[in-house]
Amino acid sequence: MTISMNNLLSSLEAYADMSPDLEIRQQVNLWMQARGRRPLSVVEWCDVFSGESAAIAEATQDSATKNAAKSVLAFVYQFFGDYSGLAFSQVRPNDSLNRDLHLPLVCWFDWTLNFFDDFLTQFDMDLSDRFDEAEFSTIGEMVEFLVVQVVAESAAPVVLERLSTRPYLHLAQPGSAIALAA
């Protein structure tokens, strides 16, 4: 009986350690409201993040990568609000992941596992070997990283296609020489 009681108490302590801190979550949401941040629509939010990052701006304006980049931005807007419980419509690119948003405290301890699964489902890309939220200071840096990852993968066929349509470079059949046109 005492062993099962000890297990129960241990489980309750572990649950508390792994759960999001709801008080801090509420404080962060109040902090964003107190700063006069109006909630942005997903389109406005994407525009704000595009305006803060040259890489995101370039990706959202290039016709070959525009849809991929905007899909990543919309994904972050929706899913990171779910993971954190924060009003992500009020999050801005320069918000510190730790100091301002307290991301490790407001999310479940295993939120990155859910993120990896959702990202894989949405973009058919496994980030588990290259994503570590501790490497980013701000949410803007993290979003830029995600956009660059998806755009790099989605743009690869486009780059090859652009190369193959250049009039001065024609790839010959296997075994023959490369023909250069004037």
Per the domain annotation, does 79 fall within a domain?
Answer: yes
Instruction: Quote the pLDDT of residue 166.
Output: 39
Residue 63: what pLDDT? 84
The answer to whether position 108 is within a domain reads yes
Q: What is the pLDDT of residue 21?
A: 84
Q: Is residue 119 part of a domain?
A: yes
Asked if 52 and 140 count as a contact pair (C-beta separation under 8 A), the reply is yes
In this prediction, residue 177 carries a pLDDT of: 42
Count of structural domains, the chain = 1
Secondary structure class of 92 (helix, strand, coil): coil
- Confidence (pLDDT) at 180: 38
Q: For residue 165, report the phi and psi dihedrals to the nearest 5 degrees.
A: -95, 0
**Helical packing angle, 54-61 and 42-52, nearest 10°:** 120
**pLDDT confidence of residue 36:** 92
Distance CA 159, CA 61 (A): 16
| pLDDT for the residue numbered 116 | 96
Q: Does any domain span residue 178?
A: no
Q: Which domain holds residue 50?
A: 2-164
Nearest to 75 by CA among 113, 103, 115: 115
What does the DSSP 8-state code read for residue 86? Answer: S
Asked whether residue 73 is domain-assigned, the answer is yes
Divide the 182 residues of the chain into consecutive groups of 10 and give the mean pLDDT of each group.
Answer: 59 56 92 94 95 88 88 96 95 96 89 95 94 94 95 65 40 39 38
